[in-house]
Amino acid sequence: MRERWHSRTAFIMAAIGSAVGLGNVWRFPYVAYQSGGGAFLIPYFIALFTAGIPMLILEMGLGQRMQRGAPGAFGAIRPKLELFGWWTVGLSAGIVIYYSTILAWSWVYLWHAVHSGWGDQAESFFINTILQRSSGPAELGTPLWYLVIGMALTWATVFLILRKGVRNVSKVVFITVPLPLILLVVLLIRGLTLPGALDGIRYYLTPDFKMLASPAIWLRAYGQIFFSLSLASGVMIGYGSYLGKRAEITNSALITGLANCGISFFAGFVVFSMLGYLARVQGVPVPEVTASGTGLAFVAFPIAISQLPALNSFFGIIFFVTLLTLGIDSAFALQEAFTTGVRDKWNQSPGKLAFVFVAIAFPISLIFITKGGFYWFDIIDKWICDFGLVAAGLGQCLIVGYLDRVQDFRVYLNEISEVKLGVWWIWALRYVTPAILTVILIVNLINEFKSSYQGYPRWATWIGGWGVLAIFLLLAVILYKISSHTDSIHNKEK
């Protein structure tokens, strides 16, 4: 008997937990601010309804209909497509291996937050003290011991949560989803009561409608939706596969998509109120203190925290606990996407699979916490997200849009769901999303060939970028071959 979520709420919480991650806090506010402020909400919500939610319905629905993770689900459409499924869950395994780095940093920062260890030199603290960043990707060095502890804590947590499969996840997400939200509210209250907060928020939201004329803004909106909803990584297919046969899909997908985007929008207030305050304290305009990515979480925020008039350690701890609880449910969702695929095929216990996965992934992840590890982290992240996931998303839409009986799929979803899907869903999968993903892919490729990402040496992006994507392809081929072999043995036994 296949494992099941405790309840529909548990499933929706887990889906929201995987979608809501660091991207909501450190990517969305910045992208919005840079892309027309309040006006960005227009392309963003259009992207949500024309691509994000249709694909979320596709993924959750496919997992539920086939009762399999991505490899089995695509294999049920055409046996050879199992290979494609292995590739997508391979990407998710790849993501969790480098995503764990951010969690390792967060554990170490949590430790330093107790005494605001970064002092007034947050940038130097991050780069020189924590990362001890080397001069380039060629100079790797050995893993840094304190980050090894952070990394070990991360994998131990993931193992403990996944050891008992989705039944355990059903319980854990009732903590890891609401807790960071409550903590964000605490940070927001603190942020809004600081001088300069409103200047920050004005920067965040002042609409610049002229920006909407630029195609780049639209592509950015689709890219952000895609990343934010954890699409194309097999996560939502795997989670959907643990739903009962008659479980509701469409409304659950709508709730997940809207909650995720609402949380992103809300996180912008937290981030920009703090940045507004920081700009006021430093006597500079807000654009000078804005930052995205690691710069926001590990430099700008720590500075803002140490500038607070009181309770600095308290807010420091709250901030890093927020990051940890935001990230951990995205991490275990990614690992579960992969192990669900394996379990469908070889019927191993969740505990054993979680253990084997962590035993392999933990040593590999140590690469990212060496002195040169940051560069490799950056390159692999870029390639997996900008090329790997976009290509996987494109493949997924084309497969379901053209090779599966998509009309019947819609009828099926409408039978079991509270919200009925119109034919627009099919158009979204067949035309709108593939067209946009193709353009994104081409633009990303052109940009990369014009100039190397971040000016990294080409050999590094060949190894860390294309090389890593090729390794996943190879891994997919191997798993596919073994799986076909297992099937043929079973057939002979019958």
Name the residues that contact ligand PFF, by CB under 6 A.
18-19, 21-24, 92, 95, 227-228, 230, 233, 235, 330, 334
- Which C-beta is closer to ligand PFF: that of 22 or that of 379? 22
Nearest Cα residue to 168 out of 157, 182, 179, 178:
157
Q: Minimum Å distance from CB 225 to ligand PFF? A: 10
* Closer CB to ligand PFF, 332 or 374, in the complex: 332
d(CA 419, CA 422): 10
Q: How far is the CB of 91 from ligand PFF (least distance, A)?
A: 8
Q: How many CA atoms lie within 13 A of 435 on its CB side?
A: 8
Number of H helices, E strands in the chain: 26, 0
Alpha helices in 166-249 (DSSP H): 166-176, 178-192, 197-205, 215-228, 235-240
Q: How far is the CB of 229 from ligand PFF (least distance, A)?
A: 7
Q: What tokens appear for 75 in the block?
A: 């294999």
Q: Percentages helix, strand, coil for the chain, rounded to the nearest 5?
A: 80, 0, 20
Of 24 and 417, nearer to ligand PFF (C-beta) is 24
Beta strands per DSSP E along 18-163: none
State the residue for tokens 């050995």. Answer: 142
Taking the least distance from each CB to ligand PFF, the nearer of 59 and 82 is: 59
* CA-derived radius of gyration, the chain: 22
CB of 1 to ligand PFF, least distance (A): 28
Identity of the residue, 228 or 417, whose beta carbon is nearer to ligand PFF in the bound complex: 228
- Spatial contact of 230 and 19, defined as CB atoms under 8 Å apart: yes
Closer residue to ligand PFF in complex, CB, 294/306: 294
Task: Show the DSSP H helices in 347-427 as ranges.
Answer: 350-365, 373-383, 390-398, 406-416, 424-427
Is the Cβ–Cβ distance between 386 and 444 less than 8 Å?
A: yes
State the amino acid at position 75 in one-letter form: G
In angstroms, the Cα distances linking 106 to 217, 271, 295 are: 31, 17, 13
Query: Least distance to ligand PFF from the beta carbon of 98, Å?
Result: 11
Least distance from C-beta 389 to ligand PFF, angstroms? 7
Cβ pair 276, 203 in contact under 8 A? yes
DSSP helix/strand/coil, 97: helix
Q: Which is nearer to ligand PFF, 71 or 276 (CB)?
A: 71
| Smallest separation, CB 24 to ligand PFF (Å) | 5
Residue pair 326/123 in contact by the 8 Å Cβ criterion: no
Question: Residue 125 or residue 383: which is nearer to ligand PFF going by CB?
Answer: 383
Nearest to 303 by CA among 126, 107, 106: 126
Least Cβ distance, residue 257 to ligand PFF (angstroms)? 12
Q: Which is nearer to ligand PFF, 341 or 372 (CB)?
A: 341
Using the minimum distance from each CB to ligand PFF, give the nearer residue, 125 or 155. 155
Tell me how far apart the alpha carbons of residues 207 and 217 are, in angstroms, rounded to a whole number.
13
| Pairwise CA distance, residues 105 & 295, whole Å | 13
Question: Which one, 294 or 370, has the nearer CB to ligand PFF?
Answer: 294
Minimum Å gap between C-beta 99 and ligand PFF is 7
263 closest CA partner among 332, 328, 182: 182
Q: How far is CA 54 from CA 146, 240, 256, 372, 455, in A?
A: 43, 15, 12, 40, 36
Q: In the complex with ligand PFF, which residue's Cβ is closer, 28 or 315?
A: 28
* Smallest separation, CB 60 to ligand PFF (Å): 14
Question: Angle at CA 90, nearest 5°, toward 86 and 95?
Answer: 155
Q: How far is the CB of 48 from ligand PFF (least distance, A)?
A: 13
Nearest-approach distance from CB 279 to ligand PFF, in angstroms: 26
